[in-house]
């Protein structure tokens, strides 16, 4: 049994960490129990935010690497997409008391834009005050991975965006940021090493979620 309430779960990690795969698996496993759940992502999650996502991820400057978005322009695009996402997907899920699973959320902005690119956190926090409102994750899974393993997985991708092409040092910086953020709030964050394609990880994540939402599998005699 499950007492219906809004519960917001986020998966974070660098490219190649397996967060998208695990978020999809968790969604399917919860849905199979007949629980009202939804899967979304950032940037994106709504029709308008997906259009902004295309602008963010497209490698416009591959012919001239010296020309690129200013770091604040880049950040504002993410925040614009998040505003659309919160207003049109997350808030409605809150009102409908859904379990919402999200592939990336605010910690990705802090890891990539603040720690990775040097954007002032107060700049981001000031915008978040206007767009997040009551929305905050109840549970976050951070998937860490050996950087060499991550790069190996990225090389195998047929379709790559500009975030799949960062330097090794950038990914190290971003991953360290995710871990640092997670360690500050151990009650709501779980860190898992996904370097070895852990087959038990899907099960472990599901068990943690069921414990958090107080789900009980009632068997009828």
For the domain that residue 171 is a member of, what is the CATH number?
Answer: 3.40.50.300
Task: Write down the pLDDT at residue 204.
Answer: 96
Task: Give the domain extent around 136.
Answer: 7-213
Q: Do 166 and 214 contact (CB within 8 A), yes or no? A: no
- In a domain? residue 131: yes
Confidence tier at 193 by pLDDT (50, 70, 90):
very high
Residue 155 lies in a domain: yes
3-state secondary structure of 190: strand
State residue 1's pLDDT score.
Answer: 64
Asked whether the predicted pLDDT for residue 221 surpasses 50, the reply is: no
Q: At 108, is the secondary structure helix, strand, or coil?
A: helix
62 — pLDDT class (breaks 50, 70, 90): low
Q: How high is the pLDDT of residue 220?
A: 41
Measure the N-to-C terminal CA separation of the chain; round to a whole number of Å.
15
**16 pLDDT exceeds 80?**
yes
Q: Please give the angle made by the CA atoms of 30, 34 and 39, to the nearest 5 degrees.
A: 45
Does residue 221 sit within a domain?
no
- How many of the other CB atoms lie within 10 Å of CB of 160? 13
Better pLDDT: 115 or 67? 115
With a cut of 50, say whether residue 208 has pLDDT above it.
Answer: yes
CA 92 and chain centroid, separation: 19
Domain total in the chain: 1
pLDDT in tens, 138-173: 999 999 999 999 988 898 887 877 788 888 999 999
């Amino acid at each position: 049994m499950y007492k219906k309430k809004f519960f917001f779960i986020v998966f974070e990690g660098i490219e190649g960490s397996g967060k998208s795969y695990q978020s999809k698996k968790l969604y399917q496993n919860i849905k199979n129990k007949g629980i009202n759940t939804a899967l979304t992502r950032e940037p994106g999650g709504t029709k308008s935010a997906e259009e902004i996502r295309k602008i963010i991820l497209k490698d416009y400057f591959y012919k001239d690497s010296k020309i690129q978005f200013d770091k604040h322009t880049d950040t504002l695009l993410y925040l614009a997409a998040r505003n659309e996402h919160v207003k049109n997907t997350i808030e409605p899920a809150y009102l409908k008391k859904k379990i919402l699973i999200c592939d990336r959320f605010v910690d990705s902005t802090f890891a990539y834009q603040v720690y990775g690119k040097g954007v002032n956190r107060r700049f981001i926090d000031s915008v978040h005050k206007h767009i997040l409102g009551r929305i905050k994750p109840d549970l976050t899974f951070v998937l860490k991975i050996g950087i060499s393993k991550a790069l190996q997985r990225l090389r195998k991708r047929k379709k790559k965006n500009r975030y799949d092409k960062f330097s090794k040092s950038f990914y190290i910086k971003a991953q360290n940021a995710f871990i640092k953020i997670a360690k500050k709030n151990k009650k709501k964050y779980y860190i898992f090493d996904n370097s070895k394609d852990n087959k038990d990880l899907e099960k472990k994540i599901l068990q943690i979620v069921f414990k958090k939402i107080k789900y009980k599998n009632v068997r009828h005699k």
